[in-house]
Amino acid sequence: MNADSDPLAGLHDLALSAPPDWLPPQGPGWWLLGLLLLAALAWGSWRLWQWRRRSRYRREALAQLERLAPDLGAPESLAELSALLKRTALVAYPRETVAALSGAAWRDFLCANGAPAFASATCDPLFESTYRAACDTTPQQRTALVAAARQWIVAHRAPAEGTRP
Q: Could you read off the pLDDT of 78-100 as tens digits, one per residue? A: 888 888 999 999 988 888 888 88
Asked, for residue 39, whether it belongs to a domain, the answer is no
Asked, for residue 128, whether it belongs to a domain, the answer is yes
Asked, for residue 41, whether it belongs to a domain, the answer is no
Query: For residue 50, what pLDDT is reported?
Result: 93
Domain span at 87: 56-157
Asked, for residue 38, whether it belongs to a domain, the answer is no
Please state, in angstroms and rounded to a whole number, the distance separating the CA atoms of residues 119 and 14.
82
Asked, for residue 150, whether it belongs to a domain, the answer is yes
pTM, rounded to two decimals: 0.68
Mean pLDDT (the chain) is: 83
Asked, for residue 47, whether it belongs to a domain, the answer is no
Residues 6 or more apart whose Cβ sits within 8 Å of residue 115: 148, 149, 151, 152, 155, 156
Give yes or no for a contact between 148 and 78, defined as CB atoms under 8 angstroms apart.
no
Query: For residue 38, what pLDDT is reported?
Result: 96
Confidence of residue 164 (pLDDT cuts 50, 70, 90): very low
Please state, in angstroms and rounded to a whole number, the distance separating the CA atoms of residues 8 and 30.
47
Question: What domain count does the chain have?
Answer: 1
Confidence of residue 16 (pLDDT cuts 50, 70, 90): confident
